[in-house]
């Protein structure tokens, strides 16, 4: 019903001037023109909910993207390991033995040895023997034993032409020679410097001063228990396992991403 009709009806019921009704109506509209505090709070609450939803969705999309990137990287490494094995079958020389007294054992390996937890001295010895080099040094930064396994894996795979080409398919952001503080780790072989590279996942290592991913873990032996050398010889897996600590950056938790997935 239009305002004119309302005014007519009200005038018939209450004999006042039409202009008085118009004045009252306009005054009521002016009083209602402002926004109340409750309305402001409601709008703010709705905006906050929407922002929270958007942030949550964006975080989930980011995590899913990193998970896909990690799985793709592990798949590439798995392919490179297969090529390394094929190369070994063809050439019968894996060149991955760390010490003279273990040469016969390591000649029988189908895959690169894992060097998890090796100290600087042991890692240098392993690489030196694999190369037959006169001297091997690690310089440029603070080396951490948790890097050793991934560094050795990259080193050994890069020595085989086929697997080296496959390594080139890994996203460059996931290959680094940065230490915990952002310094460049270098491998000095008989006086010549090379970057000491390792493979990481996309999740920033907890506490790192730069945006460095968590180092991937490469396991060829079952290291859940302590064994003698003879027991270690029997502990080889059918196929090595490559593991990312996942979004929580902790190995052994439910969100780990492995080549077994």
Q: How far is the C-alpha of 175 from the C-alpha of 208, rounded, in Å?
A: 16
What contacts 227, CB < 8 A, 6 or more positions away?
Answer: 235
> How many angstroms separate the CA atoms of 128 and 193, rounded?
14
Give the CA distances from residue 160 to residues 76, 96, 169, 196, in Å, rounded to whole numbers and listed in that order: 15, 12, 15, 17
Q: According to the model, what pLDDT value does residue 35 have?
A: 66
Confidence of residue 92 (pLDDT cuts 50, 70, 90): low
Give the model's confidence band at 119: pLDDT under 50 very low, under 70 low, under 90 confident, else very high: confident
Q: How far apart are CA 87 and CA 161, in angstroms?
A: 9
CA atoms of 174 and 80, how far apart (whole Å): 16
Residue 185 has pLDDT above 80, yes or no: yes
- Per-domain residue ranges of the chain: 3-32, 72-258
pLDDT of residue 68: 95
Rounded distance between C-alpha atoms, residue 53 and residue 226, angstroms: 48
Residues 6 or more apart whose CB falls under 8 angstroms from that of 10 comprise 16, 21
Q: pLDDT for 132-183, tens place per residue?
A: 778 889 999 999 999 999 999 998 899 888 999 999 999 999 999 999 888 9
Residue 23 is predicted with a pLDDT of 55
Q: What is the pLDDT of residue 253?
A: 93
* pLDDT value, residue 166: 95
**SS3 state of residue 231:** helix
**Averaged pLDDT, 5-15:** 47
């Amino acid at each position: 019903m239009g305002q004119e009709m309302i005014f007519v009806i009200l005038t018939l019921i209450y004999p006042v001037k039409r202009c008085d009704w118009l004045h009252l109506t306009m005054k009521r509209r002016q009083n209602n023109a402002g926004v109340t505090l409750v309305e402001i709070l409601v709008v703010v609450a709705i905006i906050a909910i929407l922002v929270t939803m958007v942030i949550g969705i964006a975080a989930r999309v980011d995590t899913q993207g990193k998970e896909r990137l990690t799985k793709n990287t592990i798949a590439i490494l798995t392919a490179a390991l297969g090529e390394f094995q094929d190369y070994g079958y063809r050439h019968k020389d894996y060149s991955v033995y760390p010490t003279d007294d273990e040469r016969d054992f390591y000649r029988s390996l189908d895959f690169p040895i894992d060097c998890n937890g090796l100290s600087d001295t042991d890692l240098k010895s392993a690489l030196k023997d694999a190369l037959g080099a006169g001297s091997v040094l690690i310089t440029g930064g603070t080396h951490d034993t948790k890097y050793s396994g991934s560094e050795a894996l990259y080193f050994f795979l890069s020595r085989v032409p086929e697997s080296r080409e496959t390594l080139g398919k890994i996203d460059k952001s996931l290959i680094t020679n940065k230490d915990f503080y952002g310094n460049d780790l270098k491998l000095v072989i008989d006086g010549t410097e090379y970057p000491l590279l390792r493979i990481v996942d996309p999740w920033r290592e907890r506490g790192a001063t730069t945006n460095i991913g968590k180092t991937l873990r490469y396991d060829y032996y079952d290291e859940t228990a302590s064994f003698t050398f003879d027991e270690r010889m029997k502990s080889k897996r059918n196929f090595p396992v490559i593991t990312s600590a996942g979004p929580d950056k902790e190995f052994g938790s439910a969100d780990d991403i492995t080549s077994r997935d």
